[in-house]
Structure formats: C-alpha cells, structure tokens
Structure 1
Amino acid sequence: MSCLALSLQPANGSDILLQTREWFPPARALVALSAFRQTRLAFASGKHQSAEDGDTSLGDDPLAASSGQVIVGVESRYRVVYRLVNSIYVLGITTVDQDDGVNNVFECISIVNQAVSVVVTACRGVDVTPEKLGRKYAEIYMALDIVLRGISNIRLAAMLASMHGDGIAKMVHSAIATENKIRGADSWKNVEINSLEHQAGVVAFSNATFEMPAEALQAGDEVAVTLVPTGQGSLSEQQDQQKPGEEEVEKDPFAASDAINKPEELVGGFKKDKGSSNDLTKALAGLEVTTLPPAAATESTHIGVEGFEGDYGGIEFSNDGSTLPEDFEGLNQAWGGGLDASEFVGSKKVPKSQGLGGLELLQTSEPPPTAAKGAGTPLENLLVQKTEMKGPEMFILEEIRAEFRESLLARAGLQGMVYLKTLPPKSSGDKETEFSFRIEGTNGIKRVVMQSSRVSSLGNGMFHVRTSSSEEPIPILKYSLLPRVTPLPLRVRLIKRHSGTLLSVMIQYVSNPDLPAPLNDVTFVLKLPVDPSLLKVSPKAILNRSEKELKWHVQEIPLMGNPGRLRARMPVDRNEEDGEEIDVVCYVKFSAQGTKSLSGVSLLPASEGKTDFYEVNHRYESGVYMCN
C-alpha cells in the first residue's frame, strides 16, 4: 500500500494544498478531505458514535491527539493519516485494505512525517500558519511532490538544506549527485574519462605490431643451430626420414615430458663409461674449480672504531683473534684509506758515504757560470718577473660547501664562477674583446646563469663573449653542481665525549685521494662552548678567548695518508647528568689552485688549434665547510 495524496488542511478554513499521484483522481481526494473535515467537526461536537468493532477508527479518541489515523467515507472509504502542526493538519490519504498481509500503514505514516519536516523547515519552526506557507508555496509544492513519490533520508536532508538557499532547481536536480556524494561514489563525469582512456588504450594495443629486426632473427638462428644435438641430425633430415603414410600430430605444448618415463640414470643422456679409469677427471673437464680461501679468512673479525681515549666499540663477529686490521689496513678509513709507503721501501740501509740520506743526488745540474765566477746575483734578478699578458685570460673560481654530522655527510654543494681577464685598456687601445669558447665536463651541472650583457649562448655548450677592456676580472658565467656529484676535497669527522665535567673533542680529517694536488695551509677552527680555564690540546693550537675559538694550522695534508687527528680536552661547568647537550662545531678553511678545476669543468677554444684566450690556473676554496 502506498500514499495516494498529501494535503495541508487548516483547522478553520479551506484547504491550502493538495498533491496527488498520477492515477488517483483529485476529485476523489477532495471527497476524502471533505469527509475528514466532517468527521473532525463531528468529533469536536461530540455527536459521533464510534463503532464497537473498531473498523471505522483506531484508538480511543483519534482526532483529539496531535497525530493518528481515521477511516472516512461511506461508499468510497479511505484511510487518512494526519498530524497536527500548530493549526495545520498534514494529511496522507490511502486506501482501506481489509487484508492484514497487504495493509502496511507505516509506509504512509513515514511519508506524512517527511511532509511535516518539509512544512516545519519552510516556516522556520513549528509556528506554522497559512501566511508563512503562502510565502514558500512553490518550494513546499515541489518538495511534497517529491516526497509523495518516495525519497531516501539522504535526499530529504539535502532538500531541506536547499529550501531557503539554492531553491527549487537544486531541490529537484540534486538527487543523483547527493546520493553519490553521501555514499562516496564517483560521478559518471569522472568515471567516463577513465573509461575512454582505457578503451583508447585497448584499441591502440590491439592495432600495435611488433617486428623483430633482421639482425636479431639471424643471431637467434645461429644460436639455435649450435643447440641442435649432433647425433640426431638436423630438423630437415628428421622430416625427410618421417614415413609418408604417417600423419603428423600436433604436440600439446603443456603435455608432460617423456623424461619422466625414463630410468633415473638415463635422464639427461649421461651414461657410465666402464672403459675409462679417470671418470672424475672427465667430469671435471671444462669446469672452473675455485680455490679454497686461506685459513686466515675463516678466523673471526672485529671492526673497531679507534678513539683518542681508547676503544669506542665496534662490531664483534667472534671471540677469537681479529685478522681484518692486519690484512686490510685502512679499509674503514674515509675514501678507502691510502697505501703505506713502507711497503715499497726495502730493508736496505743507505750507505753512510752518501751523507744526508742521498739528498745530494738531487743536484744533477751544473751550477750557473755566474756562481762559478764568484759574481753576485742582483736581488732584482732573483724575483719572479710577472709575465706580460699575451691575450685574454680565463679561469674558474669554485666555492665548495659541506656539512658533516659526526662522520656522515648531511649537505654538500659547489658553486663556480667563470672569470674573464681582458688586456688592460692602455695596451689594448680600448678595443673590445670578442671571441668564442666552449665548456666541457658539464654532466653534473644543475644550473647555469650567464651575464647576458657580455655573453650569449650559441647552444651545445658554446658561448660568445663580447665586452670592453677592464682592469679587474669580469664574472661572465655562474654555475652550481648537483649535490650527489659534488667532490669533497676533505672529509672531516667530529667526536665529543662528555664524562662528568670533562669534555673531550677529537677532529679526524683525511684528504680525497682523487685531488690533483695535496691541500696546503688548512685551518681548523673549533668553536668552544665555554671559555676554558684549563685546556689540553694535541698538537699545538692557538686559543682566542674573546671568540672562544681554537685554531689548528696544518701545513699539508697528503693525498694517500692516514687520517690526521686533532684533540682537545677541557673542563666544563655542566655535568653530563644534567641532560643538557653541549654544541661543538668545527669549521675548515682551505684554498688551492691548479690546472684543472675541482668539479671537472674545463674551458676550451671554439675551434681546435686556435688560441682565442689563455687558460690560467683555476682556484677553489672552502665556503661553509663545517662538522657538528
């Protein structure tokens, strides 16, 4: 059973609204409404006598309460479900069915309750009056029409929310979108694009053809020929030997192999050779037999971290003796360590006749004639005379930055600048310098910026320079490297140990063996947390109390050498039990120059054999190079 009509009937006055289904005539709905009004007035005057069987009404006094249901009519009987909201009756009209299995009055009650929600929302409260219903008559009419046909609670909530806002259009057309939005489903507009892409992919894949190159097919045929057993003959010979009357049966590719039916000793074609005595030699012929590792390799190993105050622990693989430090010296050092020079020096001692260890053998050239004659060399001639510029000069200045946290590299970066030094204005006659050059070794470059007023790019690493003469070097190009390809000239490790009120710090450093030349005049600056009253350092260092800095100056760091160590120990006023972390930072300052740049970037003329400029020594220096 379903609700046939909905109506709004005031307690006093004519009906305000009537909404019916398509197959239910409005005239019959008006008859039911008129019968309900008469029944209501009869109950109000007390003239109506209810039947004893209870068919005509349900409940003790159905119209005295704010909600209920009543059966009206004489010839055409209808069941009216009503709810009283202020002075307005919300009525739902349905048929009277005597069969209890079909009579489901709760469906009609649910529709009336939804209609009450619409009316209360339109009037902004339970103070429902005919005047307020007239102001929202169109919205109420469309809402009750939708409610009469059956809706879910999701759409009812959306309709009530849009009644005073978006209006009738949102109320009528928001059914599918609202349901999908609440349930989390995708709309057809979003899914349609994916389906079209999927269909296009299927069509493109079905039309694609794959062809093997002729070289690949030829190579495959050559390999297939070598795989054919020599004793059975070729495939064409086997086809010729096949009987003409025998029909060729296609073999199932998923059928089991015939090898499972053969005896175990014959699988694979291996047969025992009874006539030979050296079966093991034949079986091992052509196989590469690896030698066993030495006995030392089977012993236990211990990888330890050497500290300046003892053993800091490590990885213990066994309780026996260790062989790793003896057999692989320097394996745990930075960049794999270096070679010990003592391995290439024999035990033969230098004869005493050679004086100072053979250093006089280095003097192989004859003394200059002026020294032989006893004439003194003027001091001006001993000074290195600066060569005169033959043409424009170019060089690269690179700044390397790195940050280590203990022994791990946290950040790294390199920034380079290409400088052009022109002829002085006096010697060049104020002529413009113009030439082309190219840059190689740019695989690791991340970004390049050029001074467009002096340089223009020709493509493929070619650049053209045109500028006026200047006394100072002119920066024309600026570039930066990717962090993962940035070379590190120096690897630094900072270790601190806070025991009680005593703070011990050690700096370990090692040079990159791939550098073109060793680093000279390297300065290590250790930022101290406090101004120390007592200080013990090794080796000697310079203390700056105003800046709380401790400086070490290293003359030279060899390329293939053991790591260097700088130690410092001082008392601090903070105990390790306080839980406060003491910050110690080390800064490294260095600079070097050479014929090659640190990043591998090189400057070359635009055409080989032509000297448009002269390449002088490139330089690199440290920026923020620190370890904390």
Structure 2
Amino acid sequence: MSCLALSLQIANGSDILLQTREWFPPARALGALSAFRQTRRALASNKNSQAFGDDAYAAESIGDDPLAASSGQVIVGVESRYRVVYRLVNGIYVLGITVADHDNTVNVFECINIVNQAVSVIVTACRGVEVTPDKLSRKYAEVYMALDIVLRGVSNIRLAAMLASLHGESIAKMVHSAIDSENKIRGADTWTTAEVHSIEHQAGIDAFSNSRFELPPETLAAGDEVAVTLAPVASEQQDEQQTKPEEAPAENDPFAASDAINKPRELVGGFKKNKDPSATDLTSALAGLEVTTLPPPEATQSTHINVEGFEGNYGGVEFSNEQATLGEAFESFSDAWGGGLDVSEFVGTKKVPKPQGLGGLELLQTGPDVAVKAPAEGGAGNLENLLVKKTEMKGPEMYISEQISAEFRESLLARVGLMGVVYLRTLPPKTAGDKETEFSFRVEGTSAVKRFVIQNSCVSSLGNGLFHVRTAASDEPIPIIKYSLLPRLTPLPLRVRLIKRHTGSLLSVMIQYASNPNLLAPLRDVIFILKLPVDPTLLKVSPKAVLNRSEKEVKWHVQEIPLKGTPGRLRARMPVDSTEEDEEIEVVGFVKFSVEGMQSLSGVCLRPASEGKTDFYEVNHRFENGVYMCN
C-alpha cells in the first residue's frame, strides 16, 4: 500500500482536512498527525535531544534542515511508526501518511506522487499558490471529493479532467468520471456530447432489441388469396402444356404499343347506360352513393355549453339562437348609444300609417308650433346628452406619468424600478399661432431620484431645481424631463406573494396581495394574471376568474383593494401530469393597474417658479405598472 491517508495542516494551527482509506482507522491517522506537529514544534525550538533522547532522528529524515524545506519526509511515532511525506504550500502542509517499513514493501515514490497530485488540487481550488484556509473553505466540498479520488489512485489524464471541472462543472462530473474517462478526453467530444451519444446509443439498442417485425394477419390472408389465384387450376392444362413442344418465347419489343389501344373506350369506372325503363327511380340512381341523413329535431335547438372547472354557472355560450325575438335584439341598445329602436317600425301586423301632408315636405315647415313638437316627436332633445362639452385650455398644462416595475420571489422583493416622465401640453397651434410657450417652473420632492435627464432642445436648467421651458406649440404632449428612482427609496403600491404547492399530480397556487397604506387612494380595477404551465383539464379557482386556454392563463379582476385590512387571496388548483416527480413547475403571476390622481407615486411634484403666479396648470398625474410580476 502506497498511501494510507491525506491531510491538510496549517503550519501554525490545527488540521483542516483528513481523508483516509476504508481500512485505515482515522484515530491512527490523527495520532500520526499529532506526532508530526510535535516533531515540527520540537525541531523549531531546537529540542531534538529532549524529544528523542539522541541524534538518531537525523537518519530518519531527508534534507539539511528537516521540516524547514518546502518538501520532504519524516518518520514519526514511538510504538506505531509512520512515514509522513510532506509539502509546504504557503503555510499549508499537504501530508501523505504511510507505514515506515524498511524492507522496501512500500513504494515511497508513489506516495510522493499522490502528495504532488493533492498539491495540484488545492492550488487549482485556490486559483494560485496563495493557498489560505479561507479559500479552501469556499471550495471545501470539491477539495474533499477530489482528494478522495486522488487517494485511491488516479491517472494524469483523469487528474487533468478533475482540475478542469473543479471550477466549471459540478462535483458529480468530477466524482462520476468513469473508467473510460481517458477515451472521452482524448476524443473530440465534450462531456455533455459524450453523455448524449451514450444515452442515444443505449436507447437505440433497447429499441432494436424489443422490436418485432411481424406482418398483420390481414396482410397474410390477402397474400394467400392472391397466391391461390396465381396457382394452376387444372392438371389437364398442365399435361397439355407438357405434351406441347417447347417453343422459344418470342422476344417482346420494349417500345411496342400497349394492347389497351385496341380496346373500346368506356365511361369512367366502367359505367354503362342502363336501358331498363323500370330502373329510373331515385333508389337505383342513388345506388352506391352515401346519402347523409338529416339531423334530429333536437339538434336545431340552441346549444348551451358550460365552462367547467369554475365555481358556479357563468352562462356558457349559446349558438344558433333563432328563438329570440327581434324586440330582444333591438332592445340591447342601451341609452348610452342613443336609446333603443322602435320594433313596430320594422315588424308588425299593422301597416305603418303614411304621414299626412305633402309627401315629406312637412319636415320643411317652420313656425313656433313645429319647434315645440319637434323634441317630443323625434326625441331630438336626447341628443344634447350625447354632446360632451370639452373645457378649453387656459394655458400650458404639465403632468407626470410614471411606470413602476417590480419582481417578487415568493415574499421577497427581488428587483424594483420606477421611471417617470414629465409631459408638457401646450396650447394647440390653431389657438397659439406662431407664439412660443415660455415659462419657468420648479421641481420638488427629488430626494429619491437617482438620475435626471432633460430635453435640451426645449428645457434649460437654472439650478436649485428651477427649469425654463421654451418651445413651439404642438398638438401632442412633449416629454421634457425623464427620471428614475433609487431602488431602495422606490415606493411599492402593491405587495404580491405567490405560493405554489405540488403534491403528487395536484398543483395548488395562491396569490396574496396587500396595498400600500400610504397611498392617497385605494387601487381600483386591478387585474391579476396567472400563467399556467399546461392547458388545464380541470381547474378550480376562488374567487371567480376567466380562463384563457389559448394563452394558458387565469385572470382575476379586483374592483378595489383597500388600503388597510387583511391581504387578499386568489387561489387556483389543477391536476398536472408530470413525467418526473422532481420536475420543477414554473408558475408566474402578473399584475396590471393604472391610477390617476393629483399626486405622483414617487412624490415628485411641479410648482411655479414664484409663488402667486400661474405660468402653467398642473393636471392629474398618473402611474401604471410596468413588468409587475411574482414567481
């Protein structure tokens, strides 16, 4: 046996790592390490005579100054004597322990080779010769498993593969390098390609070993029938053919015309005209044709399809609903669209009375009596309700539009960012003409702003939060300032948490949400979208939701989220057929909201340059979601 144990020992400290063979007790290895440490300390304090009693130790060591050089070997112990091969690497001793036999039964050079391989492992793990205990602790698992492989013997090719995978690939690649690792390394394929080829090769062997090439019985039966028709029918014909002298078969011209030219022409499929006058009925004419039967009367009724997997009945979908009256169809127009239509003008048993007058010229009459009757008869007074009086702009308007993005991983906030844009809406060119819009304003509440960008073509900075605007009139809002907030100072309007439980073939998902109590107004019309891994066959949700099978998503619409109160919960449960139990199923939730108010979400506000002046009008600010998700 060449090497019994490998160890890493600090020059002025305790042992870091110990790796022994199965049959070598660790207690004996620790005793040898303790004796080696005592020997080092004794030689360091020049107490050789006190430690050993004589100078016989010089014959058991190699080198001018034992244990002071970077490498060497020494025999330690009194009753159980062991030979320790050591190398010093930047204050860390790499020790190899073997028995101290003098009959040349131990290959000391092989033990030295194992120690050198162990030195290569720790130098590679620490990325250089500056080997420290802190660096070894970061790669402790890799070093432990690599030294275990080195202790049992490893070739130079496999050692190179281990050192290459120490930082790149996983520990399993290093440990499970098989016996044919040399063949894999010498080839041109990588580890991943070699594994894929091995799996495909094994799958091909299994597929060919389990395949059976058998013809179906229908094919065999059809072949037997054809063989019977090809066999000779009567033996007399065979005898005649045998008695006839054998004639040399005439050579067929390969370019000769086919015999089908001389045959008379027939209709398609050999169809012949039937001259029997009694066969002119519909039955004989339709003989051989497949006639589709009419559907039963129940099939003409309205079809009602329920949406399965949800709580309650959601109305379903109706097709071919011809039983609805025209009145119901026209009454669907509500007052928001100018009122319904009078059904009697289109359908009715009574004839529509013709208007009395000059055939349409009565509409041209003028006078006070006609003006009074017109609103009552035609309902023209309702048209005033449809007109929306738009307030005219008194001057330039400014507002802030912000977009917040956040990503929650379970209950932790992973990423957050807020981008804001200050828009300027000038008077329309028709009203302003060639006059330019020019005024000054102040931006406050910028303590949380990380970056501030202004459009130099129309905005100039005056310092201390003052800005001056000068631009031509435009029909569209002009972005003049863009800014972003620091992530740690970005306010969150909504906290979202996604919990997933996969038990067997049942997947349960719950979304919890809670509003920020510091908001000025509660969030309204918030939409939660849950992306499903597969198209569900059975789905149970609480509360009610909408399922989009094409997009594989479930959508909840929450009308209002209170500022204070218990967190809301959205649940979904569905069966999932997973081929592997350890397969990770990814479920992602998205949130959509949009809020408009007098204050921005970030706290940035716009003020006139001097108090008492109204250079611009501040309208409602708005903020909406960007990529607001939880996974």
Q: Using structure 1 for the length normalisation, give the TM-score.
A: 0.40
TM-score by length of 2: 0.39
Which structure: larger Rg?
1
